[in-house]
Amino acid sequence: MSVKRVLTATAIPLSALLVLPGQAGAHPDPFQLYGPSIEFDVFREGDKVGRHTVRFIRSGTELKVESAMNLAIEVLFITVFRYAYRAEGTWRNRQLQNLVSRVDDNGRKYTVAAARQGEFFNLTRPDDISDAAAAPVIPTNHWNPEVLNQTRVLNTLTGRINAVRIEPRGPEQVDTERGPVPAMRYAYTGALQNEVWYDSAGRWVKLRFQGRDGSTIEYVCRLCQGTPPAGQTE
């Protein structure tokens, strides 16, 4: 199959890990959750192929969020596939105001944009196809645990509004830069199919999905636990 087409449960009570409205996931402050940035190593079938980063920047009353992913797949030490993703979003009053993502899919470059105007988003999909969607909506960047309460999300790779169902599937231990932490695994079904893990504070700590060729893509936390508590050093 063409490479070009790629892209231990614990006994912790479920109620201790669920991120629900009004609890850890409601109106999250990313600086309190993560600090200024998040970093994941990206693995394909167990081999490291890239990195995904998220940066948070305060600008007055606005929050700027910059996401970036770079993948490179090699066969016999020759790079046969590259994928680059950049997204910049602006949030105000805890709601997305605009977002632009740029993708280089092994040479095929395109842009996705979303701009809020009142109660709607104007969407620009690849090939300059325009659409509209009701606001508010949360994009598929995963850092915001409020997405767990949604039934529709903005796909930042396609510019489409995807109908989804997000359900908890059980507690697990997830490796982070501070060692294993208890987390809840959530499964997306519907227009998107993936699994995402959040810890008890609502931090995104892991991601897994299938690439276009059926391979398993997994995000492993390098930096996702935020600033250490007072008096604690790394």
Residue 2: what pLDDT? 43
> Can you point out the beta strands (E) in the chain?
37-44, 47-59, 62-75, 78-92, 95-105, 108-117, 120-125, 129-134, 138-139, 152-154, 161-176, 179-190, 194-199, 204-210, 216-223
- Give the tokens for residue 203: 């931090």
- d(CA 16, CA 70) in angstroms, rounded, equals 35
3-state secondary structure of 4: helix
Dihedral pair phi/psi, residue 29, rounded to 5°: -100, 110
CB 124 within 8 A of CB 130: yes
> In a 10 Å sphere around its CB, with 0-12 CB exposed, 13-18 middle and 19+ buried, how is residue 20 labelled?
middle
pLDDT of residue 27: 62
Residues 134 and 101: their CA atoms lie apart, in Å, by 19
Tell me the per-residue pLDDT of 158-167, one tens digit each, with 9 for 90 and over: 999 999 999 9
Per-residue pLDDT, 228: 59
Residues in the chain, pLDDT under 70: 1-27, 228-234
pLDDT in tens, 134-151: 999 999 999 999 999 999
Residues 58-91: tens digit of each pLDDT: 988 999 999 999 999 988 888 899 999 999 999 9
* Structural domains in the chain, sorted by start: 3-223 (2.50.20)
CB atoms closer than 10 angstroms to residue 9: 9
Per-residue buried b or exposed e for 164-188, using 16+ beta carbons within 10 Å of the residue's own CB: bebebeebbebebeeeebbbbbbbb
Quick check: bond before 139 cis, omega within 30?
Answer: no
The per-residue pLDDT for 96 is 97
pLDDT for position 8: 31
Residue 28 pLDDT: 74
Q: What local confidence, expressed as pLDDT, does residue 219 receive?
A: 98
Q: Largest Cα–Cα distance of the chain, in whole Å?
A: 53
Look-up: residue for tokens 């909506």?
137
Flag whether the pTM goes above 0.95: no
The angle subtended at Cα 105 by Cα 103 and Cα 109, nearest 5°, is: 55
Place of tokens 């669920």: 18
